[in-house]
A = this chain, B = another copy of it.
Amino acid sequence: MRSVSIVGIGQSPVGELWNRSARQIAADAITAAMAEANIETAGALYLGNMLSGSLLDQEHLATLVADYCGLTGIEAAKIEAACGSGAAALRIGMMAVASGFHDVVIVGGLEKMTDTVGKDTTAGLATAADADYEALHGVSFVGLNALLMQRYMYEYDVPIDAFAGFSINAHRNGVNNPNAMFREAVTLEDYLKAPVIATPINILDSSPVCDGAAAVILVPTEHVQHYTTGHHRGAVRILASAAATDTLAVHARRDPLWLEAAYASSQKAYRQAGVTVADIDLFEVHDAFTIMSALSLEASGFARRGEGWRMAHADVIGLEGTLPISTMGGLKSRGHPVGATGVYQIVEVVQQLTGTAGANQIKKAHIGMAQNIGGSGATILTHILGA
């Protein structure tokens, strides 16, 4: 099996991109990544996307995007694993290169969730849940997360403001990310006054509905020197790639406050990379909701059960903390174009590891981790990258 490296990254700004169609947003990210790697074509495009069928009346999306990017003829497939689609596409791109099927692969993530005339985005997002046993009863995706947060507060006797630090940290980091959707800092006072969406989740606990695309170029590590000459950004190696799943429905889990798939995929990733949690210099966490940050930190081994919320302070998760998270704003502030998020996380880890994260650059950045979550924890992929 060949080792795989990333030699180019690209991203579109995240936001309500009403003047750009889905294919244009994808092309913005892909052509930027291709320019950075100095390539004119590739063997394949694997495109993470969740909602194009439901919201855009467009399937066959990867071939469409390849065609629009001037790559007509190359292999193309869309990869779907709800909000974990981006990292699932990365993992499949990695297999294509590791196996020798391809020497150059483009992995993209794309979602267009706004300006979708006549479509219901909230209903679209609920397709990540079990249609027959969860969505049927009218529970929305934010509703499922609200139940988890409520249970967490009850079970561990945690006050509502315990979660504020995750939101404050993400917004603080988003200020300096030119591609972030929300570039305003928020305070504890803002958090406590924020409108509630689904008790106890308020608007500052939640990532936004938005549009965006990100892309990376994968090559065998042994070919890296062909791509990085003369370019400012060095290559980054994928040290570990692991995927695990859980029951789709939250009610079917023995313990809904334990993300078994985060535990399984992170443990596999640590073993593959030959590292422990202490070696992780930064962690791009899947902070779709603040409760998910707490649960992910616990199941990934950074905090004990019921104590993930205690990490929500600047001296721990801030850029100068012991474990910086959401360093470019995370899903909360950079935004959460669902099928693209997993690829944005990888792009941001690459920025940190190559010293190109601008004002948000952390000092020690040798090993970075990204965790991408589909549904309420049913599909979880963990990747570890090394400079």
Enumerate chain A interface residues (CB-CB to B < 8 A): 1, 21, 23, 44, 50-51, 53-54, 56-64, 66-67, 72-82, 88, 91-92, 95-96, 98-101, 123-124, 126-132, 135, 243-248, 252, 260-261, 264, 374-375, 378-379
CA distance A96 to B46 in the complex (A): 14
CA distance A252 to B58 in the complex (A): 18
Given contacts A92-B92, A99-B1, contact A379 B82 (CB under 8 A): no
CA distance A247 to B60 in the complex (A): 11
A76 (CB) vs chain B CBs: closest residue = B245
Decide: A100 and B60 in contact? CB cutoff 8 A.
no
On chain B, the residues within 8 Å of A77 by CB distance are 79-81, 88, 91-92, 243, 379
On chain B, the residues within 8 Å of A73 by CB distance are 244-246, 260-261, 264
- A109, chain B: closest CB distance, angstroms: 13
Copies in the assembly, this chain: 2
Apart from A54-B57, A62-B80, A77-B79, what 14 extra A-B contacts exist at CB < 8 Å? A21-B132, A54-B59, A56-B131, A58-B130, A60-B82, A60-B379, A63-B248, A63-B378, A66-B245, A67-B247, A73-B260, A73-B261, A74-B245, A75-B244
CA distance A378 to B57 in the complex (A): 17
Among A62, A77, A101, A378, chain B packs the most CB atoms within 10 A around the CB of: A77
On chain B, the residues within 8 Å of A54 by CB distance are 53-54, 57, 59
CA distance A377 to B266 in the complex (A): 40
On chain B, the residues within 8 Å of A135 by CB distance are 57
Decide: A63 and B374 in contact? CB cutoff 8 A.
yes
On chain B, the residues within 8 Å of A246 by CB distance are 67, 72-73
